[in-house]
């Protein structure tokens, strides 16, 4: 039995966040909100705040998977800050 490797959310790749448990393919919304704030919050504050607010009020999703996480990460990298309020309405 191998000791479980601890994941540092600040320095890990996004896919590492989904490997905290064997065969884990998704993360619950509450945990995802905390991870978004911790991992992306300092770099994409406005986007993360809007997305967390949406995740907390929506009722369609109970978990976020790696593809959804990567989609949001790509979105954050592509959005220009001055147009954030316009683009967030498309999420």
Q: What is the pLDDT of residues 29-71, one digit of tens each?
A: 999 999 999 988 988 898 899 999 999 999 999 999 988 988 9
CA atoms within 13 A on the CB side of 10: 1
Domain ranges across the chain:
14-88
pTM, to two decimals: 0.67
Q: Give CA–CA dist 47/71, Å, rounded.
A: 13
Q: Give CA–CA dist 8/5, Å, rounded.
A: 10
Label residue 78 by pLDDT band (50, 70, 90). Answer: confident
**For the ranges 3-7, 9-13, 35-39, the one whose mean pLDDT is highest:** 35-39
Domain 14-88 is in which class? mainly alpha
Statement: residue 7 has pLDDT above 70: no
């Amino acid at each position: 039995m191998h000791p479980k490797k601890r994941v540092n959310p600040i320095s890990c790749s996004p896919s590492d966040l989904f490997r905290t448990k064997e065969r884990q393919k998704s993360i619950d919304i509450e945990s995802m909100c905390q991870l978004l704030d911790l991992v992306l919050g300092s770099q994409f504050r406005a986007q993360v705040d809007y997305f967390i607010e949406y995740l907390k009020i929506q009722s369609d999703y109970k978990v976020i998977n790696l593809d959804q996480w990567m989609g949001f990460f790509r979105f954050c990298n592509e959005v220009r800050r001055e147009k954030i309020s316009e683009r967030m309405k498309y999420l």
